[in-house]
Amino acid sequence: MDSLISKITSIGAQTLKDIDAASDLPTLEGFRVSVLGKKGSLSEVLKGLGSASPEERPKIGAAANEVKAKVESALEAKREKLEAKELEGKLAKERIDVSIPSRKLHRGALHPITQTTRRMVDIFSRLGFDLMTGPEIETDYFCFEAVNIPADHPARDQQDTFFMGPGLVLRTQTTAIQTRAMRGQKWPIRVLSPGAVYRKDNDATHSPMFHQMEGLWIDKDVKMSDLKGTLEFFAREIFGEATKIRLRPSYFSFVEPGAEVDVSCFKCGGKDAGCKVCKGSGWLEILGAGMVHPKLLELAGYDPKEVSGFAFGIGIDRVAMILNEIPDLRLMFAGDQRFLSQF
Ligand code: DAH
């Protein structure tokens, strides 16, 4: 019996030493298994208990329990220590240095065309205009026929058209929306239609895709002076209080009379012969406008003796270029970050 008890005691003493020396958690776990596990040294020793006498057994059992308890509490204490050490190491390794300057964030911005469109929409909505859009692939009918440009009309040549199939074109003008607006509702009408339009054209001031904003106002007694007042309000809001407008007679099949409209140069006010924005002329052309042709009113089922209206089509890209002093229209559609990041 003494030999069994001394074996147990010496296992205990050795294990406590080992536990004390263990430097990491896996090693510690290894000791636990090799001593207390099913096939551990303590269990192996206790297998000899069968050959001990009934009086000896409780003493051996008590000795074994004592060693087991000591080993277990030593294991527990050591585990806590090692875990704390491991955590400390991890924290030190993963430490974030909050004093290091962060990487520069590149924030996106709205495209100058979008910015300009939004400003324009905002200005006209203060006059009561509602937004209405139409399809970019448009029927020949809405794009030309319904706005008084029959098939053999020379005005079709002004707008080199992309044809999409029988009776379908990429719309060359947002004017195509006018008939859609009038068909859909009775007057009074006050709609604003921004959107992309397409023409076979490509140079510093023309792009095959560009943007227009159509306006249409139909009501009783709408006069040319209402058109002028509306455009003057718009010009002052977007280019500044001092802006003036000038109407030059022009021909558009869907209006009578028709006009091309210039705004005074917001940069030099016409005072600088070398001005880069207006090239010294003092004026910038930005839109076409006029009084809605009676034919269009009739086509919509309105009585031209009862109602009248005005329409305008503004070049959004022109406005954006003027506002931002952009020299070449094509820059706006090239997608070059160096250009876009300036806005
Ligand atoms: N649609 C014309 C163009 O693309 C612009 C225009 C002129 C629109 C006169 C109008 C207008 O509504 O009345 O050149």
CA of 313 to the centre of ligand 1 (A): 4
- Residue 324's nearest CA partner among 90, 9, 110, 20 is 110
How many whole angstroms from 186 Cα to the centroid of ligand 1? 22
Q: What is the C-alpha R_g of the chain?
A: 44
- Residues 279 and 270: their CA atoms lie apart, in Å, by 9
Ligand 1 pocket, mutate which of 189, 199, 247, 254 (most atoms under 8 A from CB): 254
pLDDT, tens digit, 9 for 90 and up, residues 16-73? 999 999 899 999 999 899 998 888 888 888 888 888 888 888 888 888 889 899 999 9
Nearest atom within ligand 1 for CA of residue 216? 12
List the CATH code of the domain at 112-340.
Answer: 3.30.930.10
| Distance set, CA 5 to CA 51, 53, 66, 247 (Å) | 13, 13, 11, 117
The per-residue pLDDT for range 86-105, each reduced to its tens digit, is: 999 999 999 888 898 888 88
Q: Which atom of ligand 1 lies nearest, measured to the CA of 254?
A: 13
Angle subtended at Cα 308 by Cα 304 and Cα 309, rounded to the nearest 5 degrees? 140
pLDDT value, residue 158: 60
- Dihedral sign for Cα 157, 158, 164, 168, please: negative
Query: According to the model, what pLDDT value does residue 328 have?
Result: 87
The answer to whether residue 138 scores a pLDDT higher than 60 is yes
Per-residue model confidence (pLDDT) at position 306 = 96
Does the pLDDT of residue 74 top 80, yes or no? yes
Pocket of ligand 1 (CB under 6 A): 173, 175, 214, 252, 255, 258, 288-290, 311-313
pTM over 0.85: no
Question: Are the CB atoms for 245 and 270 separated by under 8 Å?
Answer: no
Mutate to test the pocket of ligand 1, among 173, 190, 222, 256 (most ligand atoms within 8 A of CB): 173
Expressed in angstroms and rounded, the spacing between residue 87 Cα and the centre of ligand 1 is: 73
- Ligand 1 nearest atom to the CA of residue 178, by list position: 12
User: Is the confidence at residue 277, as pLDDT, over 90?
Assistant: no
Specify the range with the lowest mean pLDDT, choosing from 146-155, 160-169, 253-262, 281-290: 146-155
Percent of the chain past pLDDT 70, that is, above it, reads: 98
* Top mutation candidate among 218, 293, 312 for ligand 1, by most atoms within 8 Å of CB: 312
> pLDDT at position 3, please?
81
Q: How far is the CA of 173 from the centre of ligand 1 (A)?
A: 7
Helices (H) then strands (E): counts for the chain = 12, 10
Nearest CA to ligand 1 atom 7: 288
